[in-house]
Every structure is written in structure tokens, then in C-alpha cells.
Structure 1
Amino acid sequence: MSKSKSNNMNTVIVALALCLVCSVLVSAVAVGLKPQQLANAELDINKNIMVAAGEFDPATETNEDVAKKFEDFTVKLVDLKEGTFAEEAKLSELGINAASYKMSAAGKDANLSDDLGDADKAGIGRLPKYAKVYVKKDAEGKTESIVLPIYGAGLWGKIYGFLTLEGDINTVKGISFYEHKETPGLGALIESDKFRDQFPGIQAYDESGNVATAVTKAGLAKENQVDGISGATLTSKGVNNFVQFWLSDAGYKKFLDNLRAGEAGEV
């Protein structure tokens, strides 16, 4: 073998060895960081739950405050078809744990969700049979607020968030969005205080029990409605559609009616 070919072979061997070492190191780092990444993701979700519940001010409070305040909330699963808190025995039979349950994952499992077909106003495809809710009670044991996960199609993909109702199970306390692909400076403004601050105080349902909360075109909001975002019509329409979907009979309404009447079961 010529000296030139030998040098080329050595270069290739060294390059391959370096690639292998780097791959092992990158994999090791990724595995080592995964628990922290999962913890950070959970913290971000819990923070958004607190924001939607009006329990957290990002300007003055810390992650430690989030963890402490989250302890005041009870995590429960709701049987959407029955409109009650899910029975622990049934959940155990299905191998479902409330703490780790993810609605988005359940929506992809045919055993844990139903195809919405033409009734898919939210653009989610399949409706999970169980929904995860967060309940806070007052000193007397009465429901003080309940946080409802909501999600649906936006302009570029799914938008995920939380909607909180006060103890009357009708007055909106707040809303937050924690994951989306909307356009920066336009649809992404659903995360802004200007948009979210319109929700507290409006009613989820009117006197006849119909869904009252709505997102309209900018400048056209009436009672129990909020102004959409100028230049982001499709994002605003998407938020309107999935908020109304989750408040409807197809979503949480049966459960909320039962909770209001004291017939949803024990928290």
C-alpha cells in the first residue's frame, strides 16, 4: 500500500473514531438531561395552569411559588361521556394514572378516544374519553376554581391552553396558552396580556345554558365576547372554535352542569 493511501486510511479511521465517540457523548448527555427536560416541561405546564387560574404573576413570583401554589389544586380525571369524575377502579383497570395522563396522547389512542367525524368543530380529530382537570377548593370545601385543559386547531397547528372557571362554574377566571405554532407578532399574540385580559369576568354560559363565550373579529366584541387579534383572523377563529367546543355538550358541559349541581362526584 502506498504511503498516500495509508495516510488516507488513517484519516478515515480517526474520523470514524471521533464520530463514534461524539455520538456516544451526545447520547449520554441527551439521556442525562432528559429528566430535567421533563421536569422543566411539567413546570411550564403547571405555571400556565396557575396563570390561567389567576394564581401566578410572572413579574414578581418564582418557580418555587408555582410548585407551592400547585399543591392547592387536586388533579382529577373526568369521564366526559358520563359527566362525572372518573371512577378510580375503572382507571386502574385501564392502567391510567391521573398524574401522568396526557389528553393529547389519549386522543391518538383508539381505545381511549372517539372519532368526532363531522362534529369536530375544534379540529382535534378524536375526543379523549377522559379529560384532566385541576380543582381548587376553599376553606369550607367548596369549589373555588376549576382549570380545564383546552386545545384545537390554529393556523399552523394545534394550540394548547387552559381555561379557568370560578366557583360558580360559569364565570371565566382566566385563560392561558402554552404551546402553539402561530405566527410571531400576529397569531402568537394569543399569549399576550392584552388578549388574555379580556376573558376574566365573562360568562361561559347564558341564562339558557348555551355557550356564551366567544372570540369575534377585532372591535366587534359584545357581552361575554372578546376581540380577536387584528391580522390573525384564522388564529382568532381557531381559538373561538375550540373554546366553544370544549364548553359545549361535546366537551365539558355535562360535567360542569353536574359539578354545579353537586352531582359530579367527590374531588
Structure 2
Amino acid sequence: MSSQKESTTRTLVVALLVCLVCSVFVAGAAVALKPTQVDNRLLDKQRSILAIAGLGDPSMSSAQVKEMFNGTISAKLVDLQTGKFSDAKDPVTFDPLKASKDPQTSSALPGSQDIASIKRLEHYSTVYVVEKDGELDTLILPVRGYGLWSTLYGFIAVKGDLNTVVGMGFYQHGETPGLGGEVDNPKWKGQWPGKTLFDDSGKLAVQVVKGGVDPQSPRAEHQVDGLAGATLTSNGVDHLLKFWLGQNGFGPFIANLRAGEA
């Protein structure tokens, strides 16, 4: 074998060994860091829930977030098919998003019902409640739906009257910064507290409107300004709220909870 061939072979072997060693290190790091990544995602979600529910302070440490969340908020499992609480699964460890991808634990949504473009609806979901003196003080519901470029994942919190909004926001999305990404803008999120979900007849009335809300409109108490330059994202937020608060989402659960039958 010529020296040139030997040199080429040696180079390829060395490159292969380097790639192999690097892949082992990368795989090992990924496995070692996975628990930390899972814990950080949970922490971000807990921080988001506390903020949307008007609890805590954004500057809280990780330990403070966990302490406040565990001491203030309770997770409960809801059967979306019956609209009632369930003990079929552990609400703390149950993952509704994972369940929504499994045909055994979810159902496909026909196009006429899938206004939020989520494709499949899990049979169970986890909601979060804050109680004071044994009474419901705040109900926090998970919501999700497609915007322009991505699925938006968030929560809406309502007072114990099951009508008045405490807060609404998203903890994960891939919308365009400066446009659809303005769902993260504190000014826009600040419009939600005090809005009401249902009108006097009990009909779902909450709405994200194109342009600005007319303060003189009798429906202004149900409406929030659309995002400037982000019509499709605004429509997505409007659609996901109508889905999750409607009859195919948490609507029956809210009705049962209001009637004391959940």
C-alpha cells in the first residue's frame, strides 16, 4: 500500500474515532441533562401559571416558585367527555399533550369542530385551582391552538365566579417577534384582567377583535384588542379561546362546576 493510501486511511480512521468519541459525549450529556431540562420546563410552566393567576413575583427564585406553586395551587384531573372531575389518573404526573397524540387516549376532531387546529383532543386534561376558605378562588385552564407559524400553549385564569378573567398568557409559541410574538407583550396581556367570558344570557362572548376595542360598545367588557400587524395570530388566539371555553372543550366542565355538579 502506498504511503499516500496509508495516510488517507489513517486520516479516515482518526476522523471516525473522533466522531465516535464526540457522539458518545454528546449522547451522555443529553441523557445526563434530561432530568434538568424536564425540571426547567416544569418550572417555567409553574412560573407562567403563577403569573397568569396574578400570584407571586417575576423575580422569584426557582425555590420560591416551587414553594408558592405547591403551597397555593392544586392540580385536578378533568374528564373532558363528561365535564367532571376524575380520579382516573394522577393529575400531577399526567401529560395531556402526550395523551393528545395517542389514539387510545384522544379523539380526532372533525374539521367543523377543530377551530383551534389542534387535530386531536385528549380525553382528560389537568386544570389548576386556587381555593380560599374551602371555596374556589381561581380556576386556571390550559389552552392551545395554532397561530400563524406555531401552536401557542398557554393558560387562562378566571375568578371563582367562572366568568371574570384574572389573566391570560402563553408559555410557549413560535410566532414572529414584533408581530404575533406580541402575545408576550405585558401591555397586551394587561388588557385581559377584568374582561368577562360570558354575556348575561350565559353565551360565550370573549373575543379578540381586529383593531382596537370600542370602549362605548356594550360588548367591550368581553373584548381585547387584536395584535397590530398579526391578524392570523390574533385570529388564532380568538379561535383557541372559543374552542377551549366552548362545548368541545371546558364548556361542559365550567357549566357543571357552576352548578356544583363537577
**Normalised-by-shorter TM-score class:** over 0.9
Question: Which residue of 1 is the match for residue 230 of structure 2?
Answer: 232
- Show the 5 A alignment for 1:10-21: 10-21=10-21
**Is residue 159 from structure 1 mapped to residue 158 from structure 2 by the alignment?**
no
Moved over 3 A (4+): none
Distance across 2 between alignment mates of 1:75 and 1:220: 34
Alpha carbons 1:211, 1:247 under 8 Å: kept: yes
Gaps of 5+ in 1: none
Pairwise CA RMSD of aligned residues? 1.3
Structure 2 equivalent of residue 64 of structure 1: 63
State which drifts further: 153-162 or 254-263. Answer: 254-263
Query: Is 2:107 aligned against 1:150?
Result: no
Corresponding residue for residue 8 of structure 1 = 8
For 2:243, the aligned partner's letter is F
| TM superposition shift of 1:14 | 1.3
Letter in 1 for 2:248: A
Q: Match of 1:133?
A: 127
Specify the SS of the correspondent of 1:202. coil
Structure 2 CA distance, aligned partners of 1:9 and 1:244? 64
1:192 and 2:185 are equivalent in the alignment: yes
Q: Distance in 1 between matches of 2:108 and 2:8?
A: 59
Q: Does 1:218 align with 2:211?
A: yes
**What is the match of residue 113 of structure 1?**
106
Q: What amino acid sits opposite 1:36 in the alignment? A: T
How far has the Cα of 1:103 moved from its partner? 1.9
Which of 168, 180, 185 in structure 1 is aligned with 2:161? 168
TM-score in terms of structure 1 length: 0.92
8 Å contact 1:51–1:57 — kept in the other structure? yes
Q: Percent identity?
A: 44
Query: Would you say how many aligned residue pairs link Structure 1 and Structure 2?
Result: 255
Q: Which amino acid is the alignment partner of residue 259 of structure 1?
A: L
Partner amino acid for 2:141? Answer: L
TM-score scaled by length of structure 2? 0.93
Is contact 2:210–2:231 with CA below 8 Å preserved after alignment?
Answer: yes
Aligned counterpart, 1:250: 248
Q: Which SS does the other structure have where 2:244 is aligned? A: helix
